[in-house]
Every structure is written in structure tokens, then in C-alpha cells.
Amino acid sequence: MDRYLVLCSRVVTCDPACSSPDNRLGVLHDAGVLVEADRIAAVGSRAQLLAQARDARVLDDSAGRVMTPGLVDAHTHLAWAGSRHDEYVLRMQGAGYEAIAAAGGGIVSSMRAVRAASQWALTAAMRSRLRRMASLGVTTCEIKSGYGLDLPSERKQLRAIAEAASDTGLPRVIPTWLALHALPPEGQDDRAAWVRRVAERWVDEIAGDGLAKYVDAYIDRSAFSVEEAKPVFERARAARLGVRAHIGQFADVGGAELAASVGAASVDHLEHVAASGLEALAKSGTRAVLLPVASFTLRQAPPPIQAMRDAGVPIVVASDANPGTAPTESLALALAFALHTYGLTPEECLLGATREAAASLGLEGTCGRLAAGLSADFVVWDLPHERAILQPWGSPMTHRVVGRGRLLHSAPVS
Ligand code: NIG
Ligand code: FE
């Protein structure tokens, strides 16, 4: 069995067992992790680990470097094809996202590219994206479908996601079926019938395939209503699938209350959400997934962060990687915006991309912290302090990225 010790100047465990009010991230100094196969066998000081594992290989990364749990990106649309560079330029010159979508661009233009792509091409694109994300410190990634918009194409996306997920040399993948993302052209004539088909037929078909852990819906003024999403979510829960939801990106139409009522794992975006919605989320234990790259691209004001804190809604930060509103693969960039523009504290940013993100994906017992018994998912950064991760202008600053005990990325030797 492969057994090795990785030592670092600072080890940011993100583990409540190591934290205190003035050490919220559970930072240990001159410490490390002992890895056995794909698990963390122990976390502790250098002296303690060297005494415990005399026969283990030692990787001494301690020269001024910091170690964190592998980053967890809890909201991405990585299974896309094509490119929307022309739409991006139009938007930068003043065209609105909703207006472009109404004219047949936006999500529906990615739909055309996904419908035309083979499953193999989607998997290949995702593999490249996941490889680059690993080089930026990500060891777990949620991926949504939602650009197929008919049953065969949604299934093609989910099968492509499953294929990418089977590669243990890439980040761990959590698949989500984005059931209601946009109305496809064939649904325009009879919207109610199309939505009914999704709720009454597709949910059970997709649940039967076993290729999705969560069902998602985009609930907003130019997307789907609470009344349309409700039967989809209820059917998903009955089929033992979890729920995530895009809500309040442009307007609060009551999505938070609906998501809370079905025990959703997360609600995402939340630029617009009322106090009553936040209260409902806090009660149901639903996490808020903030997507600051999307609101930067769309030049939107930040979500009501202080109201979220006051209500006690746990905060996650994710990249929203997609070809329209968040053209990035970098979760660290999202963290930089969360700090810069949303006013999150460094601790909220880092926990939001590790422990809280993992919990929002049902992975609290698997990853998101450095603790004995968890999966060996960690990053050694070529940076002296975890706060430097939040200033990612420029090159990827990872030195060594390990996922499930395997080296996913290492910096080129200079
Ligand atoms: O999370 N808001 C809806 N969905 C995506 C955007 C998808 C797209 O534009 O392709 C989002 O921002
Ligand atoms: Fe999204």
C-alpha cells in the first residue's frame, strides 16, 4: 500500500476539530498529512507524524508553502460544446443577457452545439477542462447537464459526465441533471405541456438511469416559475434525488421558499432574495452557493451577504463555469471576486470552497477538510499563506494537487 507523508509550513485543515474562534480555519504550523492509499491516515505536527510513520516516504514541501483541502467547485456547467464569444462581445457592448436569450442566443445557442456534439466530444472537452481545473487546485467538481433540453441530449450529457467521472486521474465529479434551464424551440408552442413532460416523464427516466445525484431548475423571471419547478422537485424527491436550484439571479420570484420546502441541498446565485426566503433556507439547512464571476460578467450588485449571515445561511462559493455568464475554470478567481466585490471574509471564502462546498454536495464525510479517515484530497500551494490564494491574478500557483490519494497535478520542476 502506498504510504507517504506530506509536510508543510502551514496546514489549513478547515476541520472544526482543529479550529477555535481565533483560528477559524484550523491552521496547524509545521505539520502535515499521512496518506495511506486513497485516505488521510493522520493529520498532525511534523514530529508527531514522523514518529508515527517511520517507514513512510516523506515529501517535504515545507519551504514556505501552505496546504489546504482540495478545492470543491459546487456549481459548474462543464458539459458544454461550442463557444459564445460573439455573444460575449455584444454583451460587453451593452446588449442584455435576457434580451440575447429572448432572441435565441444564450443557453439555447449552447443547446444547438450540444445537440450537434457526440458524447465522445463532450467527454473529451470535459476531461480537458477538469485537468486544467485540477491544476488550479480543484479536486471535486459538480457538473450540470442542461444544454441538451430534450431527453436524448440531456442523457448524452449525463453519460458524458459519467465517463469523465470514471477517470480517477481527474477531480471527483458529482453529476446534476439541470432539468429546467431554458425552454427549447420545440417547447415554445405549448410551454405547459413541455414542462409537464419534464415533471411527469423525464424525472423518472433520468432517476432510473442512475446518472444524476441532484436535479436543478432555473427559477427566475425569464426562466421558470415556482409553479413550474415545484412538480419537478417533488417528483425528484420522490425518486430519491437531491435538489439544487438557480434562484434570484435577476429577480426574486419565490424560489428560495420553494427550495427550502423540498429540503434542497443548495440554492445558487441569490443576487435577489427576500428576508423571508433566507429565513426559510436557514430553517431547512439549505446552503447558499454564491457565484461572483457570473454577477461580475453581468455587472450586477452583490447578493445580500450580511442578511445571509444574520439569517444563519451557510455560504458556499463556486465558479459557475459556463460558456455564457462565467467564462472561467478558476474557482480561485471566484474566491478573489467573493473577497473583493462581495465582501466575504478570507475565512468565509476558503471554507466556502472546501468544507461548506463539500457539505452542499453531501460529501461532508468524504472531503472538504483535512482529517483522518477522509479521502486524501489536498493542495500544496506555492504560496506562503492561504490568503494569497485569494489574489489569483496570473499563473496557477499550485505546487502539488492530490485527489483520492493520486497526484492530479504537480508544478513543472524548474
Ligand atoms: O448559472 N443562470 C442560468 N444558468 C447559467 C448560465 C448558463 C448560460 O448562460 O449558458 C448560470 O449563470
Ligand atoms: Fe449556473
Show me where the domains of the chain are located: 3-69+369-410, 71-360
The DSSP code sequence of 219-287 is ESTTSB-HHHHHHHHHHHHHTT-EEEEEE-SS---SHHHHHHHTT-SEEEE-SS--HHHHHHHHHHTPE
Give CA–CA dist 23/25, Å, rounded: 6
Instruction: Check residue 289 and give left, alpha or beta (phi > 0: left; psi -120 to 50: alpha).
Output: beta
SS3 state of residue 173? strand
Give yes or no for residue 176 CB within 6 A of ligand 1: no
Q: For residue 113, how far is its CA from the centre of ligand 1 (angstroms)?
A: 15
SS3 state of residue 218? strand
| DSSP β-ladder status, 378-381 and 66-69 | antiparallel
Residue 239 CB-density burial (10 A; 0-12 exposed, 13-18 middle, 19+ buried): middle
Residue 86 CB-density burial (10 A; 0-12 exposed, 13-18 middle, 19+ buried): exposed
The DSSP code sequence of 58-122 is EEE--SS-EEEEPEEE--------S--HHHHHHHHTT--HHHHHHTT-THHHHHHHHHHS-HHHH
Whole-number percent of the chain with pLDDT over 90: 93
Closest CA to 289 of 324, 322, 333, 245: 245
Tens digit of pLDDT for each residue in 272-330? 999 999 999 999 999 999 999 999 999 999 999 999 999 999 999 999 999 999 999 99
CA-323 nearest atom, ligand 1? 10
Give yes or no for residue 109 CB within 6 A of ligand 1: no
> Superfamily assignment of 71-360 in CATH?
Metal-dependent hydrolases (3.20.20.140)
Q: Is the pTM of this model over 0.75?
A: yes
Q: Best mutation site among 144, 176, 181, 219 for ligand 1, i.e. most ligand atoms within 8 A of its Cβ? A: 181
Give CA–CA dist 380/401, Å, rounded: 6
Closest CA to 158 of 196, 195, 123: 123
Instruction: Locate 228 and state its grid cell.
Output: 413550474
Q: For residue 380, how far is its CA from the centre of ligand 2 (angstroms)?
A: 29
Give yes or no for residue 9 CB within 6 A of ligand 1: no
Determine contact, residues 264/288, Cβ cutoff 8 Å: no
pLDDT band at 118 (very low <50, low <70, confident <90, very high): very high
Instruction: Check residue 362 and give left, alpha or beta (phi > 0: left; psi -120 to 50: alpha).
Output: left
Determine the average pLDDT of the residues in 367-393: 95
Alpha-carbon distances, residue 305 vs 342, 373, 408 (angstroms): 7, 34, 34
Q: CB-based contacts of 168: which residues, under 8 Å, 6+ apart?
A: 404, 406
Domain at 3-69+369-410: CATH architecture: Roll (2.30)
Determine the average pLDDT of the residues in 53-66: 90
Give yes or no for residue 110 CB within 6 A of ligand 1: yes
Determine the average pLDDT of the residues in 368-397: 92
pLDDT band at 139 (very low <50, low <70, confident <90, very high): very high
Determine the average pLDDT of the residues in 407-413: 88
pLDDT band at 103 (very low <50, low <70, confident <90, very high): confident
Determine contact, residues 138/70, Cβ cutoff 8 Å: yes
Torsion of CA 370, 371, 377, 382, to 10 degrees: 30
Kindly identify the ligand whose nearest atom is closest to the C-alpha of 223.
Answer: 1
Closest CA to 127 of 166, 93, 96, 101: 166
169, containing H or E segment:
none
Give CA–CA dist 316/394, Å, rounded: 24
| DSSP β-ladder status, 27-36 and 398-403 | unpaired
Tens digit of pLDDT for each residue in 126-137? 999 999 999 999
Torsion of CA 33, 38, 39, 42, to 10 degrees: -30
CA-147 nearest atom, ligand 1? 10
Task: Report the range of poorest mean pLDDT among 206-215, 234-243, 290-299, 384-393.
Answer: 384-393
Determine the average pLDDT of the residues in 341-348: 98
**What's residue 392's pLDDT?**
73
Q: For residue 216, how far is its CA from the centre of ligand 1 (angstroms)?
A: 12
For 210, phi then psi, to 5°, come to: 70, 25
Report the alpha-carbon angle 377-381-384, nearest 5.
Answer: 135
Determine the average pLDDT of the residues in 44-58: 94
The rounded mean pLDDT for the chain is: 96
Residue 66, pLDDT above cutoff 70 = yes
**What's residue 413's pLDDT?**
66
Q: Best mutation site among 268, 299, 316, 325 for ligand 1, i.e. most ligand atoms within 8 A of its Cβ? A: 325
Tens digit of pLDDT for each residue in 79-92? 999 999 999 999 99
Task: Report the range of poorest mean pLDDT among 103-117, 226-240, 388-402.
Answer: 388-402
